[in-house]
Structure 1
Amino acid sequence: MVALVQTLAVAEYLNFRHAANALGVAQSSVSARVKALEEDLGILLFERHARGVRLTEAGRQFVAQVSAGIDQLDHAVKTAGRAASGEQGRLRIGAHALIPGGFLAGLLAGYREDHPGIEIDITEGTARDTMMRLRADELDIVFVAGTPEPPDFHARRIWAEPLFAALPNDHHLADRPAVMWANLTQETFLVRHGGTGPQAYDHILLRLSGQWPAPSIQRFDVGRSALLSMVAQGFGVTIVGRDASLAPASGVVFVPFSDEPEPVAFSAVWSPSNRSAALRNLLDLAAAMERQARKV
């Protein structure tokens, strides 16, 4: 590699002494390395004369190819360095939803601003689906409701949201500033098979356990928008986190619970073998945002 660099310097200056001065080495060292390279190649790269040197035709071809190769190598080294520092690359994220104005949307917006060289791929799906893709190394990180403790992955609570009841506009509780679980014992709850539906189902059963009659919970294989449309049409009510309540839903009112003991937690899950600096930077930013949110 040293011989190639010195050969390029000689080709630039067409003078061994000037090339040696530019490189900060002895002229004899440059002459010896270039001559050794010519002997190894079996090609005369330079024609020597009293005032300096001149590239041969073979030398011009060789220098052009070496220059291109070194530029590519330099680019590869810089690219690898940016990837190692988390400034370039790709981050594959799985989530149940991306709500404008929510914590996750704010996290990704801040991350993109801080790290514009990272390409972000977002996959929406159920917790089960995104976890399967995480195990298949198709995702780098997933965000799920609750505080899971998978034995084969790292998990960390990232943020929390107050719980809201989603009610039709004409519901008799729609004008209240808050509701209690006891107010909803006679309601039919609607939940999804996907997204946060399974967690919502379990949460409703937990809060209304021991009530008579047992809570009526219907599950539908629909998306979030379709479920809220069903609420607006009077099929029943449902529960959502605060972030989900930020998205517009015609005919639906979101009312907070006053007797919910704590906000709903959301966690990040990732593989312990994933050493990506881009992933580490995302987790660091999420932790900083959560600390700031707690201070407000």
Structure 2
Amino acid sequence: MIDRQRGRATLLGSRIPLASLIQALAVAEYLNFRHAANALGVSISSISTRMKALEEDLGVLLFERHARGVRLTEAGRRFVKHVAVGVDQLDHAVKTAGMAASGECGRLRVGIHALIPGSFLAKLIGRYRESHPRLDIEMTEGTARDAVMQLRADRLDLVFLAGAPELPDCHSRRIWTESLVVALPKQHRLARRAAVTWSDLSGETFLARHGGTGPQAHDHIVLRLTGRWPAPSIIRFDVGHSTLLSMVGQGFGITIVGDATSLLPNSDIVFLPISDEPEPIPFSAVWSPHNRSTTLRNLLALAGAMGRHCESSQPVRQR
């Protein structure tokens, strides 16, 4: 059966003006129509008329009038108590909706290959969190391949990848660059040099991650060392970034990384620049064209600004 009284209350509640509820709260606070009217900036007659209409709609007496003002009835006290909670929730809903629309609160899901203290990416995330303290940033560390799969499945909003990927179903933008360095075990024959060339690295065993920080890592090694003798060996492992570096330190082989990785403390590894590497590695932001999130646009704007400042402050490369 339909609860007629409950149905009546629901219909009644849906047609009570919000202004009447707010004025009822003011009257309950001041217990005086004049003071409540002054606080709200309305006329006494307006409040008096609204309170009378509200009581008639509810069918109960909320306020007992007397010469000095009003006092709440028991029904009025209960009514005001619940209305206050509802108005607070509504106010919170309005404020949070506005903040979410402007990107000040909500959630942003970011895919990364590693978050290295002192790196461009770490500074970017840190500055974004400072300027958006109410925003929850969820970070997922993994390979480029896995990150793109999660992006396409709408489990990530944005991923940062090495290189300049051309994905037909995604947008991408170059954000920052890093010089390419080679990571060698401390006991390696080349470890005491100030720099190395690609010819120095021919015949070496390179370690790489399946999927890597970008799909071009394996191809980059092959491109640079094709035709050189002895030929290099490239072994792929399904491990994380830190594990791969640990394997380098233990003598499994060498690897190439962006120079931000050299900021990591590691007594077993030496990072050396590759002097004949013509260009630094670009790092790009990749996102879905269907993602209209303001939080995403805000992060992209900050990343672009920081990236331009970083490039403008770097010395011009001599050729």
TM-score under structure 1 length normalisation: 0.92
Identity %: 70
Question: How has the CA–CA distance of structure 1 residues 190 and 20 changed in structure 2, closer, same or farther, with 3 Å as cutoff?
Answer: closer
Q: 1:150-208 CA distances to partner (integer Å, 9 max, x unpaired)?
A: 22222111111100111222333222222111221222222121432743211101112
Q: Distance in 2 between matches of 1:197 and 1:79?
A: 37
Q: Report the residue type matching 2:311 in the other structure.
A: R
Aligned match for 1:68, one of 85, 106, 116: 85
**Any conservation in 2 of the 1:111–1:282 contact (CA below 8 Å)?**
yes
Question: How has the CA–CA distance of structure 1 residues 52 and 237 changed in structure 2, closer, same or farther, with 3 Å as cutoff?
Answer: closer
Aligned match for 1:51, one of 68, 72, 85: 68
Q: How does 1:193-272 map to 2 (within 5 A)?
A: 193-196=210-213, 198-272=215-289
1:192 aligns with 2:193: no
What residue is the counterpart of 1:177 in the other structure? 194
Match of 1:211, SS?
Answer: coil
Q: Distance in 1 between matches of 2:57 and 2:276?
A: 83
What residue is the counterpart of 1:132 in the other structure? 149
Aligned match for 1:113, one of 114, 130, 136: 130
Unaligned stretches of 5+ residues in structure 1: none
What residue is the counterpart of 1:290 in the other structure? 307
Aligned match for 1:79, one of 96, 121, 125: 96
1:33 aligns with 2:64: no
Unaligned stretches of 5+ residues in structure 2: 1-17, 314-319
Question: How has the CA–CA distance of structure 1 residues 20 and 201 changed in structure 2, closer, same or farther, with 3 Å as cutoff?
Answer: same
Question: How has the CA–CA distance of structure 1 residues 36 and 145 changed in structure 2, closer, same or farther, with 3 Å as cutoff?
Answer: same
**Any conservation in 1 of the 2:113–2:241 contact (CA below 8 Å)?**
no
Question: How has the CA–CA distance of structure 1 residues 236 and 16 changed in structure 2, closer, same or farther, with 3 Å as cutoff?
Answer: closer
Aligned-CA RMSD value: 1.9
Q: 1:30-70 CA distances to partner (integer Å, 9 max, x unpaired)?
A: 22211111111111112223333222111111111111111
Question: How has the CA–CA distance of structure 1 residues 22 and 246 changed in structure 2, closer, same or farther, with 3 Å as cutoff?
Answer: closer
Q: Distance in 2 between matches of 1:89 and 1:146?
A: 29
Q: Distance in 2 between matches of 1:148 and 1:166?
A: 24
- How many residues are matched? 296
